[in-house]
Copies of this chain bind each other. A is one copy, B any other.
């Protein structure tokens, strides 16, 4: 019934939809602050539709992204693995991308042309994004395809190196072929997070070989179901710290390794990028000594989606908590610091336990506080 009617309804429902934004819908928007010098862009660069082995038309991927407040997606269909090929037989392998672009219309969603390169291990699966033409990547040779992607100016990354279907112990392990691709500049990034999985070993490889740290949903079904969005869950994404909100900005950020991954309640990234993000998330909004005491009440506003888990590394003890405390997302938390004597400024240092900069490594942040 609806086919001529969809846009019309959208227009008419606008004001009501905007109201709904205040309740349930608004809660799913993924929110992170910008960091000094860069805008923080929320990207999901590994996604499937019915054009490979996914279960939805590209327009649903666009709508999911808009509902999640995502800045950029890439529909990275398998070129070789086409289980729906009896039904979907369009000869152009760019088709999925083109439909998504049309669906996105003037919404502002950035859609990056990409493709999955599907191989047995090694090298396993990889994505080439920011390509010119997916059709030209349809070739057998496992190295030649990366060379072709490179000719097209692609950014490439290794998908789910921990995938137990290709790596039975789940331990991401570099093969000579991977090292060759990296050395030749044909492999730029690696998924540390894919769907519901995380890999410490992939993170170590990223650090050892200077690869871009990536996290993607690799969604095949529905985002809402896979990540229990109505219950407060979210898809994994790559945060790209970009000089501008554009496809070019994202590409440059990825190439320069300026990323972090947002996965469940964990942030993963190089210290130089995640620490500024934590700092940008937190603002000391108020300080006040309580009564005539030397206990200082410090109010910290957290404008990010992260519930930060902090481990006190200062000499101070707290009047209302032990040395482990949490800062709820989008909430102001008050920390009462026993400063022994009244001071005009102080530093609070915390290890941030749910931020990961290397396996078993969590960064410290220091809040420099001037007493009001």
Contacts and interface: CB of A to CB of B under 8 A. Distances in A.
Contacts of A268: 322
Max count, chain B CB within 10 A of own CB: residue among A23, A83, A198, A341: A198
B89 A320 contact: no
Contacts of A288: 12
Contacts of A336: 170, 197
A60 B53 contact: no
Contacts of A286: 15
A19 interface: yes
Nearest to A307: B326
Nearest to A333: B16
Q: Binding site of A, secondary structure by majority: helix, strand, loop or mixed?
A: loop
Interface in A192-233: 194-201, 218, 220-222, 224-225, 228-231
Contact of A356 (B1, B3, B229, B322): B322
A119 interface: no
A21 interface: no
A218 B1 contact: yes
A340 interface: yes
Interface string A160-186: 101111001111000000000000000
B16 A332 contact: yes
Interface stretch (A105-113, A238-246, A293-301): A293-301
Nearest to A356: B322
A324 interface: yes
Contacts of A309: 309, 324, 353
A98 B253 CA distance: 46
Contacts of A90: 86-87
Given A24-B230, A264-B321, 13 more contacts: A2-B195, A2-B218, A3-B81, A3-B220, A15-B299, A50-B50, A55-B60, A87-B90, A89-B89, A162-B319, A170-B294, A222-B224, A266-B321
Contact of A170 (B163, B168, B319): B319
Nearest to A160: B1
A359 interface: yes
Interface size class of A (residues with CB under 8 A): 35 or more
26 contacts: A1-B125, A1-B160, A1-B163, A1-B218, A2-B218, A3-B53, A3-B220, A5-B291, A15-B332, A16-B332, A23-B231, A50-B57, A86-B90, A87-B89, A87-B90, A164-B293, A164-B295, A164-B319, A169-B341, A170-B295, A170-B319, A171-B340, A268-B322, A309-B324, A311-B353, A322-B356
Interface string A299-324: 10000000001011000011111111
Copies of this chain, tallied across the complex: 4
B164 A290 contact: yes
A160 B293 CA distance: 15
A173 to B, nearest CB: 11
Contacts of A372: none
A171 B339 CA distance: 10
Contact of A55 (B59, B231, B341, B360): B59
Nearest to A194: B1
Nearest to A167: B293
Top 10 A-B residue pairs of the complex, sorted by shortest distance between their CB atoms: A230-B230, A164-B293, A55-B57, A200-B317, A169-B294, A170-B295, A87-B90, A170-B338, A324-B353, A168-B293
